[in-house]
Amino acid sequence: MEELKKTTKKATTKKAAEKTVAAKKTTARSTAKTGCKTTAKTGCRTTAKKTAAKKPAAKKAAPAEKISPFITEVDQYLFGMGTHYEIYKKMGAHLTEKDGVKGVHFAVWAPNAEYVSIMGNFNNWDSSANPMTRLEPMGIWEAFIPELKTGEIYKYYLHTKNGWDLEKADPFASSAELRPGTASRVAETEDYKWTDKTWMTKRESFDVDSCPMSVYEVHPGSWKRHPLNEDQKEYEAFYNYREFAHELVDYVKEMGYTHVELIGMSEHPLDASWGYQVTGYYAPTSRYGTPEDFMYFVDYLHKNKIGVIVDWVPAHFPKDGCGLAEFDGTCLYEHQNPMQGEHPHWGTKIFNYGRNEVKNFLIGSALNWIEQYHVDGLRVDAVASMLYLDFGRNAGEWIPNQYGGRENLEAIEFLRHLNNIVKERNQGALMIAEESTAWPLVTGDPKDGGLGFSLKWNMGWMNDFLEYMQLDPVYRKFHHNQMTFSLMYAFSEKFMLVLSHDEVVHLKKAMLSKMPGELEEQFANLKAGYAFMMGHPGKKLLFMGQEFGQWNEWNENKELDWYLLQDEHHQQLQNFVKALLHLYQKNPALYEQDGSWDGFEWINANDGDRSIFSFIRHSKDSKKNLVFVCNFTPVERPDYSFGMPEKKRLKLILDSADPQFGGNGMEHAKTFTPKAGECDDKPYHVDFPLPAYGVAVFQY
């Protein structure tokens, strides 16, 4: 925490930093570090090779003073302090003009390289054609190449101090070559004409505590695809960002979601990694188009009042030879010691969160997505793996912190700094933690020892819910507390309830396939489960395909089984989910008091013998409160009654017996007046015949 306070007190504006540089110019520190022998890598245009002698004099860089200072001393100082929050405007490849000539400026951080140059089609991949100049003291290399334009592909060639020749993609690139190519691509990201000013202004007042959030989790490459003929290539099946924008908006608006969360948006080499092994932290994946195309996607969703959240992966990165691993022949971005720098189970590298430049690289990436691409939030992947030094390790395989504990103090400071600066610079932007342990105050204020996230995925609820839902109904009465336990901690964090992609892959089965019983029972089970989820406190997230009953596990290589909607059972399930989502948006009782017992009241949490749950969601003004009743057995309850705390007339606003949802068509009165007489420890009660797997929602 002290380090965070010190960091935030440092110069973060150009004017303040210039004063600091002038005062400390003679004492500027060098950040060059050595160690970590580079090994041969694959996946690049050529394999790294060791040379017998140093590079010839012709390949030595020109003196720094001969290069125009696009990267200034202030830039270097702020980067070294970890507070250059607009580093994405300086590093990487940028279209610019020098002495009246247009071209591209390149800048890369490689303090332990002896020689760095730029290679591409424009110079026939000649490593001696365009050498870069080293800037001191940070070891940033820069060069200007005249007349280069958008679309050129390139890599950095590095000759290292330990004699290796490496070809690396640009860590700060805005775009990349379509896989399986691994080069970076020059792209213009600052000239797009945004039309979402109304949305961005309104976002500043977005309050996650009291606003609705129902999120549709989507993998763009497998939501829908174009049909292919034998002569076409696989990537031609993808919807591009612009096509995807229009198709997705139409569907999301019809269904009633408020946000979409996109999987696999950062550039990554392997489709099967789903985008969780990132090589381009500043680049929207080229699978679906250019950075400008992605901007159009976000812009179009905003114009249609739909928020955009992107998955972001600061926990680890792959060992691909053209990526960040041992970038300049040393462990530049990762820890040198494998006990700190590698995930033993994932086969990936761990960022060195104690190094200011690495923290700046990651924070700059986060701000790039939010400020440059206007996304409304980041879902931060695998936070637990960042917080614990012993994550995935056995005794003796990890190094304790300075106090002997297993907490990763450097990662904790990084996360606090990250969340603090994102919120400070972008009011209303969301930082959402996928954190699977009981780490305290994940959404707490850093001033109070918290991590500062906006929301935390409620993994505990998800696990309990799914275990209960997969049980044969005859056994559910013995596991009743699995559905009620989450209310014991529901307000300890700001939670999002999730049924994510992770739960419908790797032989876990799709949501519908998890349900017990015969065909119609499976659909009825799932409807009851979704209704319970919608009524439970917390924001909502549902992975694509589960809203209409995908039978098969998610496969990133094919589109969803949309043909299933020709079957009435799947159409009825989709109708039910749509009704729930619109019900959610229209009723503040379901979202405006998510973080407090003021918004929730059990009617009966202990009706285990009948496996029925009944509860009230309260609005702030006590108008349009909602009563939920959910029956999780195939047994009809014609004599069912539930208690009410007051004698207010109820209106039935959602009934699973409705034929449009696949119900039995049982006729019910539409309004009910509670009768005097104790029930469920309440002074009044309502008689309501509850069907098998019946769900009823009342408003009063």
Instruction: Give me the active site residues, please.
Output: 381, 434
Whether residue 698 contacts residue 650, with contact meaning beta carbons closer than 8 Å, is answered with yes
Q: How many CB atoms lie within 10 A of CB 147?
A: 9
Q: How far apart are CA 613 and CA 579, in angstroms?
A: 20
Structure tokens at 477: 């009465």
Asked, as a colleague might, if the bond just before 537 is cis with ω within 30 of 0, I would say no
Structure tokens at 51: 């040379």
Name the nearest CA neighbour of 358 among 499, 516, 171.
171
Which helix (H) or strand (E) is 607 found in, with range?
none
Whether residue 624 contacts residue 593, with contact meaning beta carbons closer than 8 Å, is answered with no
Q: How far apart are CA 468 and CA 427, in angstroms?
A: 39
Q: Bridge partners of 119?
A: 155
- Based on C-alpha coordinates, what's the Rg of the chain? 28
Asked, as a colleague might, if the bond just before 137 is cis with ω within 30 of 0, I would say yes
Q: How far apart are CA 208 and CA 536, in angstroms?
A: 16
Structure tokens at 505: 């892959």
Q: Which amino acid is at 605?
A: A
Q: Which residues of 166-175 are buried (b: 16+ CB within 10 A; e: fewer)?
A: bbbbbbbbbb
Q: Bridge partners of 622?
A: none
End-to-end CA distance of the chain: 47
Q: Give, to the nearest 10 degrees, the angle between helix 409-425 and helix 2-9.
A: 40
